[in-house]
Amino acid sequence: MKILIVDDEPLARERLAKQISELADFEVAAAVENGKLALEFIERESPEIVLFDIRMPVMDGIEAARHLSTFENPPAIIFTTAYDQHALEAFEASAVDYLLKPVRKERLASALSKAKRLNMAQLAKMLMPANEAMPIRTHICVRSCGDLLLVPVDEIQYFHADQKYVTVVYQQGEVLIEESLKSLEAEFSTSLMRVHRGTLVATRYVQALEKTNEGLYLLKLSGVAEGVEVSRRHLPELRKWLKQRTA
């Protein structure tokens, strides 16, 4: 079975690779230094097992594991970490096992054997979101023209729903996702505001509220050419927020 090692520490990657090379039925497909590179590799090569460190720059192991729930054939996940069991309780639902560093060869072999026995249905169930207290994502995972695209949340100006899909408008353009506005609003409640039944705006980009000659209210966002329509239902809350921001 092919294994991807994900750890920002070169020595940790080398240690795991050496231990795996001594085990039958397993081989290292690659070793990368963060979750973003891991997702890109998994999309291309589909390894059966991923060994994720938790704390890494760019994208940590926990967030990368959450994105894997959107993959058609997700790999089994094993966390390698310096955390103790109590700290990992929130993450156990998405992982086959976890290994405390420094990783012992016997525990690694046991975890890999456990992952080897799981089928696709069991893996998909394990990756289903099970804890509302999970860390907020720093990226939105998107598939565009067959490629994997990771959109930084900080670059997103607004979300707009249209039937089944949600359009993500960000600094580099627009993409479609299949997440609901309700789930996005819940996860990013501190940085998003609903201004219309089908629109969530990123408060960091809000510039001004304008009224057109036709009586429509439009919200001007930094970097967005056209104003975003504000419904009369959400207008009072928006005005209140704008007033507090300038106070």
Domain count, the chain: 2
pLDDT digits (tens, 9 = 90+) for 133-159: 567 889 998 877 767 889 999 999 999
- The token pair at 170 is 């960000």
CATH of the domain at 189: 2.40.50.1020
Report d(CA 110, CA 195) in Å as an integer.
Answer: 51
| Amino acid letter, residue 105 | K
Structural domain of residue 93, as residue ranges?
2-126
Residues 167 and 104 in one domain: no
Q: Write down which residue in 60, 93, 126 finishes a domain.
A: 126
Mean per-residue pLDDT, 68-92: 75
- The strand pair at 192-196 and 139-144 is best described as unpaired
Residues 106 and 180 grouped into a single domain: no
- Is there a single domain that holds both residue 100 and residue 162? no
Same domain, 157 and 115: no
Query: Is the pLDDT assigned to residue 90 strictly greater than 50?
Result: no
Tell me how many degrees the CA angle 191-33-145 measures, rounded to the nearest 5: 65
Q: Tell me: the pLDDT tens digits for 12-61? A: 999 999 999 999 999 999 999 999 999 999 999 999 999 999 889 999 88
Residue that is last in its domain, among 126, 160, 182: 126
Q: Side-chain half-sphere of 232: how many Cα atoms within 13 Å? A: 2
Same domain, residue pair 118 and 162: no
- 164 in a structural domain: yes
95 within domain boundaries = yes
Q: Is 120 in the same domain as 157?
A: no
Look at residue 135 and tell me if it is in a domain: no
Total residues found in the chain within this entry: 247
Would the pLDDT of 195 be above 70? yes
Is 132 within a domain? no
pTM: 0.75
Residues 108 and 217 reside in one and the same domain: no
Closest CA to 196 of 220, 168, 242, 230: 230
d(CA 198, CA 194): 8
The whole-number average pLDDT for the span 197-216 is: 96
Backbone dihedral angles phi then psi of residue 65, each to the nearest 5 degrees: -65, -35
CATH number of the domain where residue 95 is located: 3.40.50.2300
In a shared domain, residues 111 and 169: no
Q: Which residues pair with 78 in a beta bridge?
A: 51, 97
